Amino acid sequence: MSVHGTRRWPMINRSSYFRHSFVILIFCFSFFAASVHGQEAAPAGVPTTSGLPAQTTSNQPADRDVSWRQLPRNFLHDQKAIWLFPRTLAHGDRWVPTVAVVGVTAWLLSADPHDAPYFRHTATFDDFNGAFSGTNTALEMALVPATFYAVGLVRKDSYMEKTALFAGEAVLDSTVLEVIMKAVSDRLRPSDIAPTGQFSDTFFRSHKPFSSSFPSGHTIDAFSIATVFARRYQSHRWVPWVAYGVAGTIGFSRITLQAHFPADVFLGAALGYSISRFVVVRGQ
């Protein structure tokens, strides 16, 4: 008690708070896996228990399915769609979002030399970085689909199992694109540059082509997984908010950790979303 008779509350340890928040986040995903459920749509024309033919819904299009056996074939089809995307542009499709993504990425690239030094010199995010380290976020991204798949097996819920497989497919697709882009761009990470070094000349200089900065691998994977869950469980209105919120937090942590520039993170988010939304779970 203080001299004025009021209770003196103990100060909160911020590092402990962030660590506990991370554990709670993992628990929430596990609870989510145990609480939500999906229903596979029956093929059109097949009688349901009501005796009426089922209609193919937007939540589960008849032309898009996944299983362990189908994964290799799906992956090859996905890669074809990804690498032939310029042909889509040549036909006059997807120009507006493409120009928007390229424009924002270019603007962020021009701003990188000015915003990256701030995160180098501030200690504001030290506790946050401890909780959302690269290892922790990689573990989280692996744990979420694995948990869904395990719960789906136990509950015999094929929709949950397929959601996890779609998430794995999206990460595999994104990883191939990410690795090739990293090898081509060969960009230095902010942490590779001395505090007083040159932040404006970063491309083709890392000499670590498969571990370079552009784009952010954690972010592209996070948004790939988030988009699959947001689309597959869009009937639960809170799911997209949680999925994209967590993915955004992971992306932001890559900036505060000095692992990536903001442009790397933005492009990773755009690519992860696009691959899942328009290739892996298209139409859902």
> What is the distance, to the nearest Å, from the Cα of residue 266 to the centroid of all Cα atoms in its chain?
11
Question: What is the value of pTM for the model shown?
Answer: 0.79
Q: Which helix (H) or strand (E) holds 23?
A: helix 14-35
- Given its phi and psi angles, is residue 67 left (phi above 0), alpha (psi -120 to 50 degrees) or beta? beta
Structure-token match 């995010």, residue found:
125
CB atoms within 10 A of CB 264: 33
C-beta separation of 189 from 259 below 8 A: yes
C-beta separation of 213 from 227 below 8 A: no
Do you know the residue count of the chain? Answer: 284
pLDDT confidence of residue 179: 96
pLDDT confidence of residue 148: 94
Q: How many angstroms separate the CA atoms of 25 and 77, rounded?
A: 34
Evaluate the omega torsion of the peptide bond into residue 209 and state whether it is cis, within 30 degrees of 0.
no
Structure-token match 């908010």, residue found:
241
What stretches in the chain show pLDDT beneath 50?
A: 1-12, 14-35, 39, 41-62
Q: How many angstroms separate the CA atoms of 59 and 39, rounded?
A: 9
pLDDT confidence of residue 207: 87
Strand partners, 53: 47
The model's pLDDT over 100-125, given as tens digits with 9 standing for 90+, comes to 999 999 999 999 988 888 898 888 99
pLDDT confidence of residue 63: 52
Report helix angle 14-35 to 238-256, nearest 10: 150
Token pair of 240 as six digits: 């997209």
- Percent of residues in the chain assigned helix, strand, coil, to nearest 5: 65, 0, 35
pLDDT confidence of residue 54: 36
pLDDT confidence of residue 166: 97
Which DSSP symbol is given to 197?
S
Nearest to 137 by CA among 33, 58, 73, 217: 217
Q: How many angstroms separate the CA atoms of 119 and 253, rounded?
A: 11
Every domain of the chain and the residues it spans: 70-280
C-beta separation of 206 from 186 below 8 A: yes
Task: Determine what percent of the chain is predicted with pLDDT higher than 90.
Answer: 65
How many helices, marked H, and strands, marked E, lie in the chain?
10, 0
CA distances to 117, 118, 249, 276 from 123, in Å: 12, 10, 18, 35
